[in-house]
């Protein structure tokens, strides 16, 4: 495994030429024959370094607007030839095929082109054919050929050439081959997913290039890695490394706050809102969000849809929290918030999140559409004799947004665009309601005239009765139970308002 093989020749065909010059200089220093084509050959020639055009090997020009350059038996034969195979050796001598020991490729930026919003013709032209073929061929013949599949491996190549003076072991070549198939499979997955947007073939293909190792997973004895680029979504201004549990809460916080247009502040703990309020001033939204559950707010995740100003920062600074997320911060607010060195301060960028969700399940994966249904006024069907007022309708919509983003079974109690209390993750709806009532009572929050929102229908009238006895007078729920009329009759008898949405919002 440690037998060293000298690199005598290299084929270079790259899209991104940044940081390529040191490699070219090193190859010349090691007296390695360089073959190249197109823009890469021009780049090398400008460095006054000798390079042989691929066309001199193939006796064929680049054709079809550059679509066909390296696709030729004299190129691929030199890459794939097995050096210890007598038949292969005889054929490459017969057909005058030069052996190629090193292949350096950087593919056309297909994903970046798609992300840029380019038209389909430009996107299709960024599907690399020659480069991906070179990668696969060289990786297959790792016993004899070293493949560098991406600009991200340029530094590794220089280090290898310098440390071993132009020689490589089969272990080195197999490691680079592994990287090559990582690159090629990711590239093909991106292309497939682009085409599949039109057809929605039921297959599950996802690929993320590179993972960020976290301090640990959900618990210290579990390893954790995040695959994705957080820099696309956030700018971290301050604080320690984001943890696995932070990410779970951040995801829940971002999805929740996206529902609100009014000035809103939310506090989350274990993926559920423990406080949220919408107000005219941010500091008021914060104070009323905190009032909903000042105990659970300790160590929570804070998020708002407005710039954090000095007034709000002074109040926020009074409690311990893990993360704060906002679209921006005033300079003096940042000075206050940065006093604690471990506080994670994030700016949320504009980003379109995927509309699909998936999670590992048993020996496979579950995939579903993200719950993008948010009820509006015309979705609410009044089913009681007493109809809601305009202000009550706004509160209904506020409360239903919260219940949508809370773990089932869940009950939310709210009033005047403020979360009073919630019961989440319970095995029965009655238990969720009792939990919410107990919590609101413990913080001296008045439930008279409050709204009860439920993520699913009430199978019996017991929940509306318990809520009413606690002071609740308005109910929003999906409806759909065979015993809906029992709940409606109770509400009518006690002068309550109830509306149906027709949409269940389970969240597990």
CB atoms within 10 A of CB 448: 9
> Taking a C-beta distance cutoff of 8 angstroms, is the pair 414, 453 a contact?
yes
pLDDT of residue 217: 95
For 341-357, give the DSSP string: TT-EEEEEPP----SEE
For 249-311, give the DSSP string: HHHHHHHHHTT--SSEEEEEETTEEEEEEE-SSHHHHHHHHHHT-TTTTTTEEEEESS-B-HH
Q: Which two tokens stand for residue 442?
A: 């413990």
Residue pLDDT, tens place only, 359-368: 999 999 999 9
Share of the chain above pLDDT 70, in %: 100
pLDDT of residue 423: 97
Residue pLDDT, tens place only, 378-425: 999 999 999 999 999 999 999 999 999 999 999 999 999 999 999 999
Share of the chain above pLDDT 90, in %: 92
Q: In angstroms, how far is CA 175 from the centroid of its own chain?
A: 28
CA distance 268 to 481: 31
CB atoms within 10 A of CB 89: 14
Residues 6 or more apart whose Cβ sits within 8 Å of residue 160: 168, 172
The b-or-e profile of 397-416 (16+ CB within 10 A means b, else e) is: bbbbbbbbbbbbbbbbbbbb
Range 240-266 average pLDDT: 97
Residue written as token pair 């054709």: 63
Residues 6 or more apart whose Cβ sits within 8 Å of residue 354: 370
pLDDT exceeds cutoff 70 at 357:
yes
CA distance 97 to 113: 36
pLDDT of residue 2: 60
Range 244-258 average pLDDT: 97
Write out the catalytic residue numbers: 140, 270
> Taking a C-beta distance cutoff of 8 angstroms, is the pair 55, 38 a contact?
no
Phi then psi for residue 244, to 5 deg, are: -55, -50
pLDDT of residue 63: 80
* CA-closest candidate to residue 497, choices 462, 469, 464: 464
Residue pLDDT, tens place only, 1-55: 467 999 999 999 999 999 999 999 999 999 999 999 889 999 999 999 999 999 9
pLDDT exceeds cutoff 60 at 281:
yes
> Taking a C-beta distance cutoff of 8 angstroms, is the pair 208, 319 a contact?
no
Cα-based torsion angle of the residue sequence 15, 21, 23, 25 in order, rounded to the nearest 10 degrees: 140
> Taking a C-beta distance cutoff of 8 angstroms, is the pair 288, 300 a contact?
no
> Taking a C-beta distance cutoff of 8 angstroms, is the pair 275, 419 a contact?
yes
Residue pLDDT, tens place only, 172-226: 999 999 999 999 999 999 999 999 999 989 999 999 877 889 999 999 999 999 9
Q: Which two tokens stand for residue 254?
A: 């971002």
pLDDT exceeds cutoff 80 at 66:
no
Range 461-480 average pLDDT: 97
> Taking a C-beta distance cutoff of 8 angstroms, is the pair 237, 345 a contact?
yes
For 402-466, give the DSSP string: HHHTSPSS-EEEESSSBEEEEE-S-SSHHHHHHHHHHHHHHTT---TT-EEEESS--SSTHHHHH
Mean pLDDT value across the chain:
95
CA distance 50 to 32: 10
SS3 call for 63? strand
pLDDT of residue 67: 80
Instruction: Give the C-alpha distances (Å, rounded to integers) separating 178 from 141, 174, 185, 226, 464.
Output: 12, 6, 11, 21, 61
Beta bridge partners of 356: 369
pLDDT of residue 59: 83
pLDDT of residue 462: 97
3-state secondary structure 184-242: HHHHHHHHHHHHHCCCCCCCCCCCCCCEEECCCCCCCCCCCEEECCHHHCEEEEECCCC
% helix, strand, coil for the chain, step of 5? 40, 20, 40
CA distance 433 to 409: 9
CA distance 472 to 229: 45
pLDDT of residue 38: 87
> Taking a C-beta distance cutoff of 8 angstroms, is the pair 266, 273 a contact?
yes
Across the chain, which distance is largest between two alpha carbons, in Å? 98
């Amino acid at each position: 495994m440690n037998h060293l093989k000298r690199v005598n020749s290299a084929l270079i065909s790259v899209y991104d030429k940044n940081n390529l010059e040191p490699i070219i200089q090193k190859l010349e220093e090691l007296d390695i024959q360089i073959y190249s084509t197109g823009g890469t050959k021009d780049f090398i020639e400008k460095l006054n370094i000798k390079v042989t055009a691929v066309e001199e090997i193939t006796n064929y020009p680049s054709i079809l607007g550059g679509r066909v350059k390296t696709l030729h038996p004299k190129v691929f034969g030199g890459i794939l030839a097995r050096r210890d195979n007598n038949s292969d050796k005889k054929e490459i001598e017969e057909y005058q095929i030069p052996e190629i020991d090193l292949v350096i490729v950087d593919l056309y930026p297909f994903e970046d082109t798609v992300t840029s919003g380019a038209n389909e013709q430009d996107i299709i032209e960024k599907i690399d054919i020659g480069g991906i073929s070179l990668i696969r061929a060289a990786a297959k013949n790792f016993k004899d050929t070293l493949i560098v599949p991406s600009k991200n491996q340029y530094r590794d190549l220089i280090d290898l050439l310098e440390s071993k003076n132009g020689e490589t072991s089969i272990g080195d070549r197999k490691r680079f081959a592994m990287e090559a198939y990582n690159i090629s499979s990711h590239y093909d997955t991106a292309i497939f997913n682009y085409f599949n947007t039109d057809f929605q073939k039921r297959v599950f293909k996802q690929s993320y290039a590179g993972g960020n190792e976290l301090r640990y997973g959900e618990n210290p004895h579990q390893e954790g890695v995040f695959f994705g680029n957080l820099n696309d979504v956030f700018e971290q201004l301050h604080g320690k490394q984001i943890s696995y549990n932070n990410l779970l809460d951040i995801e829940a916080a971002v999805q929740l706050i996206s529902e609100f247009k009014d000035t809103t502040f939310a506090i989350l703990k274990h993926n559920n809102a423990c406080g949220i309020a919408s107000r005219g001033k941010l500091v008021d939204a914060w104070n009323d969000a905190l009032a909903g559950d000042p105990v659970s707010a300790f160590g929570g995740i804070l998020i708002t849809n407005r710039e954090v100003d000095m007034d709000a920062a002074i109040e926020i600074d009074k409690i311990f929290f893990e993360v704060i997320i906002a679209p921006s911060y005033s300079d003096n607010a940042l000075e206050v918030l940065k006093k604690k060195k471990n506080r994670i301060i994030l700016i949320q960028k504009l980003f379109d999140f995927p509309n699909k969700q998936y999670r590992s399940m048993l020996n496979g994966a579950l995939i579903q559409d993200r719950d993008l249904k948010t009820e509006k006024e015309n979705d609410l069907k009044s089913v009681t004799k007493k109809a809601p007022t305009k202000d009550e309708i706004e509160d209904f919509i506020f409360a239903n947004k919260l219940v949508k983003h809370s773990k089932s079974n869940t009950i939310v109690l709210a009033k005047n665009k403020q979360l009073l209390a919630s019961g989440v993750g319970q095995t029965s709806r009655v238990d969720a309601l009792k939990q919410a009532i107990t919590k609101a009572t413990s913080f001296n929050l008045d439930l008279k005239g409050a709204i009860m929102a439920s993520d699913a229908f009430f199978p019996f009238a017991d929940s509306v009765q318990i809520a009413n006895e606690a002071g609740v007078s308005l109910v929003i729920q999906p409806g759909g139970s065979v015993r809906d009329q029992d709940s409606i009759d109770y509400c009518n008898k006690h002068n309550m308002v109830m509306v149906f949405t027709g949409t269940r919002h389970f969240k597990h």
